[in-house]
Amino acid sequence: MTERRSRAAPAVRAPRRAALAAGALATGAGLLLGGCGHSSANSASAGDGARRATPPAQAPAGGTAQAPEATTFARLKGAPRDTEPGRSTGGLVVHPAKPVPVLDKPGGRTVATLPTQELGGPTWVPVVQSSGDWRRVLLPSRPNRASGWISGTTEGLLTAHTPYTVRVDLSQRRLTLLKSGKAAGSWTVAVGGAKTPTPTGRTFLLADLAPAKKTPSPLVLPLGTHSATLDTFGGGPGTVALHGWPDRSVFGKAVTHGCVRVPQDALRSLAKVPLGSLVFIDA
């Protein structure tokens, strides 16, 4: 059985664990790792597991009858693109206690619904812009860099601040973890190959999955971004993730299907990072 490490955004200590529901198993760590190069430590063929992903039907939320849920499986129409992919924020993240309408602009048209859960765990998304009572948040759906506006006065909308950000330098093949703007660790990592590159831009830590089978990684950290060249990873939706890898020879190389493979000590540090924390991926 696959497990989820359930944690609210402000938490930095080891969270409690809970079993994933049956529906979440289909989107769990096994599907993410299956396409990130699990079959071969040095393989990055675009043909490995590449096929069209079929998003599951989404149940409409109250008040947003035709709006799709903004999940890692969805492809949204009309969601504004993140125009400042390199800009840092103050670390504000939000969690909807109930489904929240996502608009294309403050007071505009509903383009999606932000659900209470993502991949079986709580939804936490980063706020990247504010306008009065409106909050612009990043979304985990295709197309990459999708964003939308939610009302900051929504009943039950929880807020928190995370001190952590993650930066991945693809050219240097290096991941740096920052806490309150100061480096808390830096590691050489493996990134996407030439035909299956790791997508660049501003994204966030979407979920925290602990597979029952600890190899190749005891922890998988899906991000709110997807492969630009593969529609699916091993049956999943092509979600890019941070995860460990047992063969240290891959670090410093561009050999994955888009995921970022990290050493075990890096994975232990990343396990402390709250959901919703920003992840910057630079070319």
What amino acid positions are annotated as catalytic residues? 243, 259
Beta-carbon count within 10 A of 170 CB: 18
CA separation for the pair 93, 276 (Å, rounded): 6
CA separation for the pair 162, 232 (Å, rounded): 30
CA separation for the pair 42, 163 (Å, rounded): 35
Residues 160 and 9 sit within 8 Å (Cβ to Cβ): yes
CA separation for the pair 242, 204 (Å, rounded): 11
Residues 161 and 91 sit within 8 Å (Cβ to Cβ): yes
CA separation for the pair 91, 279 (Å, rounded): 11
